[in-house]
Chain A
Amino acid sequence: MVDQKQLIKTAKEIVSREDVKYIVGYKQGTYGFVTSPAFAYTPEDVESFIYNPLCKKNLAVYPILEEKLPLKRGEEEDKRKIGLVVKGCDSRALVQIIQEKGLVREDLVIIGIPCKGVIDLKKIEKRFPNQTEVVDVEENDNSEYIIKIGDTVHTIPKEELLSEVCKSCEFPNPPLYDFLMGEEVEVREKEVYSGLRGLDETPIEERWAYWEKHFQNCIRCYACREACPLCYCKTCMADMLDPQWIRRSVNLSENTAWNIMRAFHLAGRCISCGECESVCPANIPLMELNKKLEKDVKEMFKYTAGLDTEEKTLFGTFNPDDPNEFIM
């Protein structure tokens, strides 16, 4: 369990530094089980920081959302650093962005959190529906979550509420950080991602029927794109008008094209934080695509994203011995 006091103390030290603009962490949400990203500009702001298994949001998205607005005459750009609280996957997202030269390492101050997995909000809300009061959740040493609602304390086995992506997480410890909160945690016993189990036996027509159903629900709000720390293109292909890669009308054909495009552009880049899937209002199991690509990319090219800032990107490099069987 991450020591919240230690986190706050470190965050306070960082935010007091002159070369730091602000630090992004988590704070209590406004209702039920939600947590909210918190921006602290002063040590007093840091007081509201929390860390518990409900802090799922990938904060690595914020440095790339920084707007560079036109400066007024005489104004100077604020080049101070941004502080971030990151879990294993979030840190990998940063590594990947730095690798792609989307961010500069020196612009970030990173507080790493060895992560034991986070709770899937949809699961816990199903378990405890209509929870208005803010709830505190802790994890004990027996892999159980202790949930205090009013005066009742619920103890629930971790597996029941844990996010599916966390169950197959291979890198719970942040590969890149300046300060690490607590000891590194052990990597869970390797488990195949639930969405990929039994996939090879599924006939192709059945797979399409499955995705057809899901893609029909897509409302093309592009929340999956915006929530993804690795979707940071200045102009997304989906927004281009000339050429118009995909039409704007919402129908199965265009929705599928969009989802192929999104998944493809994350091949060899996705770090499995599961953010796209958890923000999707239509509950499209996007991680099943990402995870499949992650797995196959690893098998085919021995490539894992987000581990080394100096590595070359998957599609920016090649190996003459890459799989060749499908070439006619």
Chain B
Amino acid sequence: MENLVIQTEKLSEWVNEIIKKNKVFAPVKETDFSNFKIVNDYSEIDLSFLLPMVPAKKILFKQTETLFLFTPGSKGEVKSKEISDEKLVIFSIRSCDAKTFSILDPVFLGDYVDPFYKKRRENSILIGLSCNKPNVNCFCTSFGDSPASRDYVDILLTDLDGKYLVEIVTERGKKFIDDYKKFFASASKEDLESKEKVEKLAIEGITRKMKLEGVSEKLGKMFEHPIWYENAMKCIGCGTCTFVCPTCHCFDMQDESTLREGARIRVWDSCMYPEYTHHASGHNPRPARMNRVRNRIYHKFSYYPTNENIVGCTGCGRCIDYCSVNIDIIDIINEVGEAKL
């Protein structure tokens, strides 16, 4: 589709214009990391961090979601929760975070359609930002993606030093950008070439590689392999890997109420906790850390590819960055590839 450019100094004007009509989520600097937050002015945005701590999944699949409201007691009533129809814009989403949604779609829009996710998904425009300088643990290239991938966003920005290349990827993106035509100029051939250069440099910057060939099938045969014991021994079961993972989507449902009103809420949960699979009977089908670590890997690299035909990992590397005991998903998968059956 169309390629445009915007001068860096015009970017703030454009974003502020978007903010007028939409709810804009963008990375905001917290103490020494960034997080997606609703911004009211471009000045709040900080693009210097590569990845926000909590991935963009939290915008469509909130950590705490109210499912419905009720009044407790014998004359209790159930009221449905209204789903806001506001237009969302996720600004400066990286390609790995944007890929999240194509992985989560089968879960939330599959057999059962989650109305909250669906509404937000339909209402959101993803404005991507290419990574010029990937992190140590980035490995999106292992999945055939690129740090400047156009595949999962509506509009892709690429920082070309002084100006941004604006690639319009989808129809929705085109429609969206039509309102803001005045900020852009057409992209020249040089601009596209310099993007290619930037992209190539970024790809070269990604040094870690996960070898995925045949892993999914191989995992099917090594459920009881000793590598799970070896890797799980050091796991402390903190669950951080699942909270910062862009594709982990397990949740728990709870009732919260006062004497007069209450709500059923949905909160993120983690398969790394023993409580997650704890039955009311007292039995726990995943009693040991080994079972849980194995399940995390299997879910992403075996069950998900089998059921949905897509690997449940985007290669953002957050789980490696935040793991305090150096459980390294790249290493584990490479070990699986090399393991003797």
Contacts and interface: CB of A to CB of B under 8 A. Distances in A.
Contacts of B33: 281-283
B289 interface: yes
Nearest to A280: B240
Interface residues of B, number: 46
A31 B137 contact: yes
Contacts of B273: 222, 239
Contacts of A36: 234, 325-326
B4 interface: no
Interface string B216-244: 00000000000000100110111110111
A69 B288 contact: yes
A85 B341 CA distance: 33
Nearest to A121: B324
Contact of A227 (B30, B137, B238, B287): B238
A30 B193 CA distance: 36
Interface in B131-186: 133, 135-137
B39 to A, nearest CB: 15
A273 to B, nearest CB: 12
A133 B242 CA distance: 26
Contacts of A281: 33, 53, 240, 243-244, 322
A57 B323 CA distance: 11
Contacts of B328: 29-31
A69 B233 CA distance: 14
B287 A250 contact: no
A67 B287 contact: yes
Contact of A217 (B35, B234, B242, B287): B35
Interface string B228-263: 001001101111101110000000101010000000
A241 to B, nearest CB: 8
Interface residues of A, number: 44
Contact of A39 (B53, B54, B234, B239): B234
Contact of A57 (B30, B136, B324): B324
A251 B328 CA distance: 31
Interface in B27-51: 30-33, 35
Contact of A278 (B137, B268, B324): B324
Given A65-B237, A222-B239, A250-B64, A31 B136 contact: yes
B105 interface: no
A226 B254 contact: no
Given A217-B35, A227-B324, A249 B275 contact: no
Given A37-B234, A221-B243, A32 B136 contact: yes
Contact of B240 (A69, A214, A223, A275): A223
Interface in A41-89: 57, 61-62, 65, 67, 69-70
B238 A67 contact: no
Nearest to B33: A283
Contact of B238 (A130, A223, A247): A223
Contact of B208 (A31, A67, A226): A31
Given A31-B137, A37-B325, A249-B267, 17 more contacts: A30-B320, A31-B136, A37-B234, A39-B233, A61-B236, A65-B236, A67-B288, A70-B287, A221-B244, A223-B238, A226-B237, A226-B239, A227-B238, A227-B324, A249-B64, A250-B267, A281-B322
The 3 closest A-B pairs by CB, nearest first: A36-B326, A223-B238, A226-B238
20 contacts: A30-B326, A37-B325, A38-B234, A57-B324, A61-B236, A65-B236, A69-B288, A214-B31, A221-B239, A223-B240, A226-B236, A226-B238, A239-B273, A250-B267, A250-B268, A279-B238, A279-B240, A281-B53, A281-B244, A281-B322
